[in-house]
Amino acid sequence: AQSVSQHNHHVILSEAASLELGCNYSYGGTVNLFWYVQYPGQHLQLLLKYFSGDPLVKGIKGFEAEFIKSKFSFNLRKPSVQWSDTAEYFCAVNAVDSNYQLIWGAGTKLIIKP
């Protein structure tokens, strides 16, 4: 069965620090990969996605993620975080040859100290 693991449940950083949030999945076939963000009091929003091609994908608000197939990973990065990045971040995976279900990680709560 597919599963998604996010390594850190809580991350606290100061403004201007660099960010990397880990995401690993278990599935041997072709996948679509997503990062969603949920700001306090708001709905889940798509941050970035990988379907095929360049494994380094850029999303909104300066975020990027790198798909490393050999490591089954899709880590999220941002070189310099801002206070407004405080949110919960979810990694999700969809198996291309299966259905339209997304399998989600448990999320990482990111707090940026001003």
Structure tokens that stand for 12 in this block: 């606290």
Kindly indicate which of the ranges 13-21, 40-48, 61-69, 73-81 contains the residues binding another protein, using the contact rule CB under 8 A: 40-48
- Could you identify the residue written with the tokens 């069965």? 1
Question: Could you say which of 13, 32, 62, 86 contacts another protein (CB under 8 A)?
Answer: 32
Give 17 or 27: the residue with its C-beta nearer to another protein.
27
Radius of gyration of the chain (CA): 14
Other C-beta atoms closer than 10 Å to the C-beta of 89 total 23
Residue 59 engages another protein in binding (rule: CB under 8 A): no
76: left (phi over 0), alpha (psi -120 to 50) or beta: beta
Residue 7 is a binding residue for another protein (CB under 8 A): no
Residues near another protein (CB under 8 A) are 4, 9, 32, 34, 36, 42-46, 49, 51, 90, 92, 94, 99-107
